[in-house]
C-alpha cells in the first residue's frame, strides 16, 4: 500500500479515494480544492467542547471557530491550511447553499421519513451520502436556493443557504467519526419536485435563485460590477482590474455581505474571459481576499468581545 501523498498533487479520483485515510486538515484542503466552502469548527472534548463554554456547550464540536463565518468560509486551500495549522484538531464544517444543500436525517423517525420519501420518488438514490457521528445521515443535493428548514418533516432538517454541516472525518462527542458512505465524487442529484414541495409549500413566497441571497443586495451588485469591470479590461489593465476587484470584494466577504466561493467563481470567470492564466488568476484573487481577511481579523481581535 502506498502512503497518501500531498492532496494538492492527487488527482480527483485518488483524492476522493484517500479521504478516509487523511487527517481532518488535509481533508478540509481537499474539500476546498473541490470548490466546497470550508469552515473550521470547534472540537469535542471529554464531556464538552473546545469552545469557551466547555462542559456547558450545547453543541460540542459542531459550531464554527470563526466569528462571521458566513463570509469567511473558504475554497482557498491556502487559507484552509492556515486554519488547521492554527487549530490542528478542528472539526471540519462545510457551508451549504453554494455548491450543495444537505438533507439531514436524524433518528429512527427521520429514517422512516426518508424511506417513505425514497419510495415516493421524492428523494433519489445514489448521490453523495455521509454517516454522521451521531448515527444520522447527510444526503447532498444541488443547491435549491432555499435557506435552512429545521424539522420540515419529523427527524428531517434541510441545510441550505446560510447553513452548515459537520463533514467527515470530524469527530462527534460520542467519539465516533463522520464518514462518507458514498463519497463526494458521486454525482450530486437535483432535489426532485416532491422534495421541493415539502421544503417550500405552495403559497409561501418563492425562494430567491441561488446567486442572490436576501439582504445581500449590495454585495451582489458590487460583485456584478467588479466582475463586469474585469471582463471589460484590456490586456494592459486586466491584471490590475482583477487585483482591485479582489481587494474590494474581499472587504465585503469579511463583512459577511458576500460569500467567498461566489466571489472566487465569478471573478475567475471574468478574468478567464479576458485571457488571464489560471495561475495568475488564483494568485491574485487569493492575495486580495487574504489581505481583506487579515484586516478583518485584526479588527475582530482588537475589538469588543
Binding site for Zn ion (CB under 5 A): 42, 49, 51, 57
User: Between 46 and 234, whose beta carbon lies closer to Zn ion?
Assistant: 46
In order, the DSSP letters of 16-56 are HHHGGGS-HHHHHHHHHHTT--EEEE--EETTEESSTTGGG
293 grid coordinates: 481577511
> Shortest approach of Zn ion to residue 165 CB, angstroms?
16
User: How many residues comprise the chain?
Assistant: 305
> Shortest approach of Zn ion to residue 51 CB, angstroms?
3
User: Between 49 and 265, whose beta carbon lies closer to Zn ion?
Assistant: 49
> Shortest approach of Zn ion to residue 198 CB, angstroms?
31
User: Between 41 and 254, whose beta carbon lies closer to Zn ion?
Assistant: 41
User: Between 57 and 296, whose beta carbon lies closer to Zn ion?
Assistant: 57
> Shortest approach of Zn ion to residue 64 CB, angstroms?
10
> Shortest approach of Zn ion to residue 39 CB, angstroms?
14
User: Between 56 and 269, whose beta carbon lies closer to Zn ion?
Assistant: 56
The C-alpha atoms of residue 85 and residue 63 are separated, in whole angstroms, by 19
DSSP 179: E
Q: 257 with 232: CB under 8 angstroms?
A: no
Sign of CA dihedral 160, 164, 169, 170: negative
Half-sphere exposure (Cβ direction) of 84: Cα atoms closer than 13 Å: 22
Amino acid at each position: 500500500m502506498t502512503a497518501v501523498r500531498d492532496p494538492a498533487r492527487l488527482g480527483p479520483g485518488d483524492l476522493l479515494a484517500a479521504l478516509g485515510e487523511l487527517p481532518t486538515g488535509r481533508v478540509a484542503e481537499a474539500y476546498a480544492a473541490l470548490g466546497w466552502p470550508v469552515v473550521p469548527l470547534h472540537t469535542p472534548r471529554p464531556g464538552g467542547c473546545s469552545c469557551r463554554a466547555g462542559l456547558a456547550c450545547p453543541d460540542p464540536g459542531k459550531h464554527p471557530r470563526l466569528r462571521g463565518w458566513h463570509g469567511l468560509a473558504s475554497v482557498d486551500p491556502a487559507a484552509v491550511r492556515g486554519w488547521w495549522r492554527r487549530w490542528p484538531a478542528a472539526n471540519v464544517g462545510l457551508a451549504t447553499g453554494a455548491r450543495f444543500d444537505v438533507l439531514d436525517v436524524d433518528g429512527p423517525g427521520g429514517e422512516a421519513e426518508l424511506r417513505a420519501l425514497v419510495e415516493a420518488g421524492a428523494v433519489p438514490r445514489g448521490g453523495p451520502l455521509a454517516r454522521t457521528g451521531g448515527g444520522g445521515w447527510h444526503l447532498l443535493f444541488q443547491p435549491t436556493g432555499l435557506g435552512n428548514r429545521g424539522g420540515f418533516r419529523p427527524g428531517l432538517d434541510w441545510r441550505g443557504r446560510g447553513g452548515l454541516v459537520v463533514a467527515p472525518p470530524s469527530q462527534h462527542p460520542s467519539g465516533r467519526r463522520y464518514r462518507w458512505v458514498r463519497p463526494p465524487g458521486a454525482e450530486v442529484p437535483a432535489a426532485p419536485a416532491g422534495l421541493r414541495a415539502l421544503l417550500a409549500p405552495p403559497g409561501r413566497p418563492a425562494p430567491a435563485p441561488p446567486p442572490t441571497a436576501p439582504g445581500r443586495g449590495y454585495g451582489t451588485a458590487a460583485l456584478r460590477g467588479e466582475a463586469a469591470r474585469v471582463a471589460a479590461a484590456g490586456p494592459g489593465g486586466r491584471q490590475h482590474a482583477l487585483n482591485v476587484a479582489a481587494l474590494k470584494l474581499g472587504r465585503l466577504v469579511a463583512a459577511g455581505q458576500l460569500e467567498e466561493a461566489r466571489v472566487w467563481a465569478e471573478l475567475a470567470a471574468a478574468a478567464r474571459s479576458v485571457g488571464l492564466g489560471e495561475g495568475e488568476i488564483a494568485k491574485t484573487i487569493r492575495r486580495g481576499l487574504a489581505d481583506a481577511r487579515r484586516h478583518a481579523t485584526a479588527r475582530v481581535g482588537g475589538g469588543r468581545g
